[in-house]
Amino acid sequence: MITTLSRIIKYGLDGFIRNGWLSMATIAIVFLVLIGFGGLIIFNSIANVILNDIQDKIDISVYFKLDSPEDEILKIQRSLESLVEVKTVEYISRDKALDMFKTQHQGDNTISQAINELDTNPLSASLNIKARDLKNYAVIAAYLEKEQIKPYIDKVSYTQNAFVIDRLKKIKNTVEQGGLILIIFISLVAALIIFNTIKLAIYSNRDELGIMRLVGASNSYIRNPYLFQGVLYGLFGGILSSILLTAIIYYIAPYFKAFVPNINGWNYYFSYLFKFALLQIFFGIGLGVISSYIAVRRYLRI
């Protein structure tokens, strides 16, 4: 078992080194695929972080009619809180709204005077609702239309962020789809190049292969060194692309702070570095082994 394994590795390495330049070119193309693949993953997580950040700032505010009893409002708050779609509901009473208004316009004499001249509080009580997901806002809006609730409501307002979020999501989806197509395309190119490399490796080994066959080498014994070469292409490609992407992230992370101030991009990436590198290497090895396997099946007469 160990003997066989060490021979597979030995023959695989022999072929890898013998066709050195070709191996380099193959690693380079696997590397390109993985840069694309890794870049897409990074883009996706950055977009998600930004989206979550903005999403967190979005809410629905429900303003109640001035004569709505506080009991009813609190009842509505509780019923909203029981919905799965709802993350939080914050109650702002009329008094609190007035306080907030006053602090907001502290320096503005005209407004303070105008408020003081009124003998009643002109502001309505409100509930600020945050949903778990963007989609849920429609459900919540529909819920507020219900018979028991609607009579108390003065108006419902969405914050304008919804538009931004929608745009951002569309951009994210487009980039993801485009990126995926691009990755599939360069993966195919990479597979073709690996085919060619293995084909040449088989060609340069044809004497040995003929003798192997003649003295009764099992098919897997003949095939496995080439699969091992595929593993090497993926492994080196994966390591290189992880290193390059890490370097890139290191340099762009400070700029990332401009978008999302409360997250340290570098630390965030660094906490996923190991998983990320492993994912890249596995993807690379998968690509290498599958392409090698198909090439061996096509070109190696066993």
Partner 1 sequence: MIIFQNVTKLYNGNGHGHETVALDDINFHIHPKEFISLVGKSGAGKSTILKLLIGEEPPSKGKVVVGSYNVNKLKPKEMPQLRRKIGNIFQDFRLLPNKTAFENVAFALEVAGRTQKEIAEFTPQALEMVGLKDKIKNFPRELSGGEKQRVAIARAMINHPDVLIADEPTGNLDPMNTWDIIKLLLKINELGTTVILATHNKDIVNSLGRRVISLEGGKIIRDEEEGKYILV
The residues that touch partner 1, with contacts defined as CB under 8 A, are 3-4, 7, 207-208, 210-219, 221, 302
CB of 293 to partner 1, least distance (A): 16
Helices (H), 57-160: 70-81, 94-104, 109-117, 136-144
Query: Could you give the maximum distance between any two Cα atoms of the chain, in Å?
Result: 107
CB of 222 to partner 1, least distance (A): 9
Residue with smaller CB distance to partner 1, 3 or 262: 3
Tokens read off for 140: 């919540």
Amino acid, single-letter form, for residue 288: G
What single-letter DSSP state applies at residue 17? H
CB of 19 to partner 1, least distance (A): 15
Sign of the alpha-carbon torsion through 167, 169, 172, 175: negative
CB 288 within 8 A of CB 234: yes
Residue with smaller CB distance to partner 1, 18 or 257: 18
Rounded Cα distance between 52 and 259, Å, is 12
Tokens 């090439």 found at: 295
Residue with smaller CB distance to partner 1, 142 or 215: 215
Residue with smaller CB distance to partner 1, 214 or 258: 214
CB of 289 to partner 1, least distance (A): 21
Residue with smaller CB distance to partner 1, 4 or 106: 4
Contacts of 269 (CB under 8 A, 6+ apart): 42, 246, 249, 253, 276
C-beta neighbour count of 61 within 10 angstroms:
15
CB of 4 to partner 1, least distance (A): 6
